[in-house]
Chain A
Amino acid sequence: MIDFTQYNNRNISDDYFYLDIEKPPVTWQGKFKRVVKRTLSGELFVGLWIVFREMIKFDIHTIQYPLEKLPISPRYRALHQIKRLVESGNQACIGCGLCEKICISNCIQIDTKYGSKGRKVVKGYSINLGRCIYCGYCAEVCPELAITHGQDYEHVSEQRAHYATLPDLVTPMDIFKAGKQKPYPGFGSLTPNADNNVKKTPLAY
């Protein structure tokens, strides 16, 4: 017979305790007493004081959105970008087609051909942003870290089908030449606060 005593003990911590809630009164004397107590205890004025204190403190939490924006995580999956190779400036996509294969909403279309040197080059690349669910699989599967998710979440279109093609996605040449193409900070990369999360590995188990 297994002893369940230790499993039935739900007091997992000494911090847990039962609230000392008094039972609602049954007699009219008790009800009357409770009404008088609640009326004269001044709880209503506590409420008034709290909102007045917040007004005086003027600690406003509003973000005026189009003018101010909250910082978002580098791992946020917004509009896709295709990176350029830092050495040559060519787009990093090798046309392997993995992103098209893995895309669960079938919104990536990639078309390739043999180039002049016998290597595969990308002829056409398009993402139907109306269908895309921004799951991030394409970025995760890309062997060259070519297609990534950027931080730009403000995009609208007049139609449901809204295509982004290769020229839209690749880092523009002027930005690349100015050295402003940011290294990929998304999946698998270190978060900005990674140093704080480092814990000492225990040496002995």
Chain B
Amino acid sequence: MESAYIIETIVKVVIILTVFSALAGITTYFERKVLAFMQRRLGPMHVGPYGILQVAADGIKLFTKEDIVPQNAVKPIFKIAPVFAAATAFIAMSGVPFLPEFTLPFTDYVVHPIVADVNIGILFVVGVMAVGMYAPLLGGMASHNKWSLLGAARTVIQMLSFEVVTGLSLIAPLMMVGSLSLIDINNYQEGGIGHWIVWAQPVAFILYLISGYAETNRTPFDLLEHEAEVVTGYATEYSGMRWGLFAIGEYANMFTVAFIASLVFLGGFNPMGIIPGGLAILLKVSFLIFLFLWVRAAWPHIRPDQLMWLCWKVLMPLAVVNILITGIVLI
């Protein structure tokens, strides 16, 4: 029994690592295509039919590119920082139930598609994702480059500002459910679209989406790597696969945020009418990922002072009021 559990866990870990590393590449392709279509362009077209193999070309480029470590950089930290980005993103995924449990075909072996079903699931996921912010911070400070330093400083701003909103926005739905386990949260929303938490907590949902965008450095809040202002911010001095790890971490975080948002607010993997649960959550996650790209095409990004203004003066009071009202209603 014990060895079977270990083997199962290792298989799950390998599957999650490979699937989400590949998804990071494929998402870059879709991101470029969707952005291009929204801007009346064609996007990648030349490598393979409709540019599908662009992902492979990018991968070959990343793997074979020279790895440059700047002369005056703090070399050990500079080298380890990208690992933080990818590692924390994938560690956070260990607490996320991706699909409903299913039995392996032709056997009666029940698979739980979650690596570690800890009873503080969402706390673990949010915490580890927050640790991921250390990657841009350390990488930027170790680079011996002023753009990188500015990017790192902006990382701190963003981390301090938005982790508060992430936590506070998640507290209100957790108060309703009464459990931190993502599976309990999912089971709380059984029984169709009407039972989704988003109808009871629309403000918390919007707040979580906003802070999720900030946490994954997506466009309205991409000020720590905005090209027009700080070149690439913390990633200015990175090349090759070290930069690739940052990218993989960012896209893996996008998927984690999308999974958490659909699990906590959008009914998780409960079946939706005739749509089975596994397909339902994949549809929700795909829509949320599309929303990431859509927002990137539509909205400009904001200044650091606007970010802090938005966070401390608007979102945090809103979150606190939301918690208060939820508490009063629950009592």
The answer on a CB contact under 8 Å between B297 and A62 is no
B38: contacting residue among A35, A44, A54, A61, CB under 8 A: A54
User: B298 at interface (Cβ–Cβ under 8 A)?
Assistant: yes
Within 8 Å CB of A64, what residues of B? 42, 45
User: B34 at interface (Cβ–Cβ under 8 A)?
Assistant: yes
User: B61 at interface (Cβ–Cβ under 8 A)?
Assistant: no
Give the residues from 291 to 305 in chain B that come closer than 8 angstroms, CB to CB, to chain A. 294-295, 297-299
The number of inter-chain residue pairs (CB within 8 angstroms) is: 37
In whole angstroms, what is the CA distance A47 to B295 when docked? 9
Give the residues from 76 to 92 in chain A that come closer than 8 angstroms, CB to CB, to chain B. none
Q: Mark A49-61, 1 if CB is under 8 A from B, else 0.
A: 0111011001111
- Contact count band on A: 10 to 19
- Closest CB in chain A relative to B331 CB, distance in Å: 29
The answer on a CB contact under 8 Å between A55 and B42 is no
Q: Mark B25-46, 1 if CB is under 8 A from A, else 0.
A: 0000000001001111110010
In whole angstroms, what is the CA distance A50 to B298 when docked? 8
In whole angstroms, what is the CA distance A104 to B39 when docked? 43
User: B330 at interface (Cβ–Cβ under 8 A)?
Assistant: no
Q: Mark A1-43, 1 if CB is under 8 A from B, else 0.
A: 0000000000000000000000000000000000100000000
In whole angstroms, what is the CA distance A54 to B34 when docked? 11
Known: A35-B314, A48-B294, A51-B294. A60 touches B299 (CB 8 A): no
Within 8 Å CB of B45, what residues of A? 64
In whole angstroms, what is the CA distance A114 to B299 when docked? 73
- Closest CB in chain A relative to B312 CB, distance in Å: 14
- Closest CB in chain B relative to A24 CB, distance in Å: 15
The answer on a CB contact under 8 Å between A48 and B295 is yes
B34, B38, B41, B294: most-surrounded residue (chain A CB, <10 A): B38
The answer on a CB contact under 8 Å between A60 and B40 is yes
Known: A62-B42, A64-B42. A55 touches B37 (CB 8 A): yes
The answer on a CB contact under 8 Å between B42 and A51 is no
In whole angstroms, what is the CA distance A185 to B167 when docked? 71
Interface residue count on the B side (C-beta < 8 Å):
14
In whole angstroms, what is the CA distance A31 to B42 when docked? 42
Within 8 Å CB of B39, what residues of A? 51, 54
The answer on a CB contact under 8 Å between A44 and B37 is no
In whole angstroms, what is the CA distance A58 to B38 when docked? 8
In whole angstroms, what is the CA distance A58 to B41 when docked? 9
- Closest CB in chain A relative to B288 CB, distance in Å: 14
In whole angstroms, what is the CA distance A93 to B164 when docked? 81
Within 8 Å CB of A47, what residues of B? 298-299
In whole angstroms, what is the CA distance A61 to B41 when docked? 6
Known: A52-B294, A58-B37. A44 touches B42 (CB 8 A): no
A50, A58, A62: most-surrounded residue (chain B CB, <10 A): A62
Among residues of A, the one whose C-beta sits closest to the C-beta of B33 is A55
In whole angstroms, what is the CA distance A64 to B44 when docked? 11
Within 8 Å CB of A59, what residues of B? 40
In whole angstroms, what is the CA distance A18 to B81 when docked? 54
The answer on a CB contact under 8 Å between B298 and A51 is yes
In whole angstroms, what is the CA distance A126 to B270 when docked? 79
The answer on a CB contact under 8 Å between A61 and B298 is no
Within 8 Å CB of B314, what residues of A? 35
Among residues of B, the one whose C-beta sits closest to the C-beta of A44 is B299
The answer on a CB contact under 8 Å between A48 and B298 is yes
Within 8 Å CB of A51, what residues of B? 38-39, 294, 297-298
User: Which residues of A does B touch, CB under 8 Å?
Assistant: 35, 44, 47-48, 50-52, 54-55, 58-62, 64
User: Which residues of B does A touch, CB under 8 Å?
Assistant: 34, 37-42, 45, 294-295, 297-299, 314
List 5 A-B pairs, Cβ < 8 Å: A47-B298, A48-B299, A55-B38, A60-B42, A62-B40
A55-B37, A62-B42 given; 16 more Cβ-contact pairs under 8 Å: A44-B298, A48-B294, A48-B299, A51-B294, A51-B297, A51-B298, A52-B38, A52-B294, A54-B37, A54-B39, A55-B38, A59-B40, A60-B42, A62-B41, A64-B42, A64-B45
